[in-house]
Amino acid sequence: MKGIFLSLLACSLFTTGCGNNISTDTHNAHVATLPKGISKFDSAHGAYEAGNFHSMLELISTEEDTYGINKHFVPAIGRDKIEYSQGKWKHQKLCPKQTNIKPNAIEKVVLEALDSRLIIINEAHDSPQHREFILQLLPHLADQGFNVYAAETFSLGDMNIEQWNEAISLQGAMGAKGFYSKEPTFSRLISKAHELNFQLIPYEYLSPKGSVENNLSVGERIRIREEGQAKNLWDRALKDNRNKVVLHVGYAHVKEEVDEFGNFWLASVLKNSYGINPLTISQINCTTDSQDKGWMYSSTSNKDGVDINVHSMEEVLRNKRPVWLDLFSYRRISTNEFVKDNFESVIIEATSLKDNRIADRIFFKNGEKIELILQPGSYKFISTYSNGEVGKFPTRTIK
């Protein structure tokens, strides 16, 4: 619980908040010339937001930082956090052997969702597998009439909700801007949601300009944020009884009960203030030790504050990419043809021609054996080297 609280605390303490847009004009500076008064973390945050991933990598540390935020950046470059940090960062704990874990988590959630119009499911912000679970779940929920996908990552920025909806109408999934969605699995999830005709809804609370909220206690700032998020969700989706909503949150926002620190999170506010009893699903309890049985689930206790615990598969790697990806229709593609002979490090991006969203992105150094992970489809490829050189390649169709 301590780790969960610290991660949420970080979202509340930093002025931008997790998932909010930040000013890249200030932060998009080269690592060697950090702006005066801007912390190393802020500059890494800005480099990430601007897509300057080589600069981001120079700025982040693999040492365990106070709020566990540095490791949130690493999935965006396709690397496993424990492998990338050489064991300094950790995965979720394995479930105890005596835990009553059952197979077929997706089937369980789909069954429980029959009587719900609001499903709240969380993620750890450094776990692409949590996002893959939601991606695989969405088609089943669409069949049950769920039609709204609201995600913490989405942010209006300087837009209003009408302008956001217009951007989606004009640009499709590319119009749905967000912070964590720069990570390729999250990008694919948003593409799938749009393909299934889910309405993409931002609900993050943005502090008014000139607000004095930063001077308040952490508990007060959490309360203001949760209540603001709940109001946005009500106004934009839940007050229309025809809508059935999938709400994708981070960490403790899924809790229906007050936590040990006295905080009421988003699910609790929606339940107690708006009279909506959500189906709540947590993915951050523990992982199974299997890599080939799919996601599993277990019953919960009062202390969990949720209805269902979903358990991810253990993170085992093959050629530095997760084995669990092989359970789905992904293809492993050699990176050899997308790099020159001599280089220090490179980032390869594969962009889907279907909707122009990033389908995969991978960082590696010369000599590392690593693969791209792509579904069947047509893609364009760009390689960006640490010295700034860029290589572009012909469109390729993966069968």
Task: Express each pLDDT in 163-221 by its tens digit.
Answer: 999 999 999 999 999 989 999 999 999 999 999 999 999 999 988 876 777 788 889 99
Least confident segment among 19-33, 218-232, 328-342, 348-362 = 19-33
pLDDT above 50 (res 259): yes
Q: Are strands 377-385 and 345-352 parallel, antiparallel or unpaired?
A: antiparallel
Find out if CATH 3.40.50 is the number for domain 102-311: yes
Q: What is the 8-class DSSP label of residue 117?
A: S
pLDDT the model gives residue 40: 63
pLDDT the model gives residue 36: 40
Per-residue pLDDT, averaged over 343-359, amounts to 95
pLDDT above 60 (res 9): no
Confidence of residue 30 (pLDDT cuts 50, 70, 90): very low
pLDDT the model gives residue 323: 93
Average pLDDT across the chain, whole number:
86
Highest mean pLDDT among 176-180, 225-229, 255-259: 225-229
pLDDT the model gives residue 89: 78
Q: Which of 335, 56, 379, 46 is nearest to 191 (CA)?
A: 379
Task: Express each pLDDT in 328-349 by its tens digit.
Answer: 989 999 999 999 999 999 999 9
Long-range contacts of 253-257 (CB under 8 A, 24+ apart): 253/8, 253/120, 253/122, 253/152, 253/226, 253/229, 254/120, 254/121, 254/122, 254/280, 254/281, 254/282, 254/305, 254/306, 255/280, 255/305, 255/306, 256/280, 256/305, 256/306, 256/307, 257/302, 257/305
Task: Express each pLDDT in 113-128 by its tens digit.
Answer: 999 999 999 999 999 9
Helices (H) and strands (E) in the chain, counts: 12, 16
Confidence of residue 73 (pLDDT cuts 50, 70, 90): confident
pLDDT the model gives residue 31: 30
Q: Are strands 390-398 and 377-385 parallel, antiparallel or unpaired?
A: antiparallel
Per-residue pLDDT, averaged over 49-72, amounts to 75
Q: Which of 99 and 186 is assigned the larger pLDDT?
A: 186
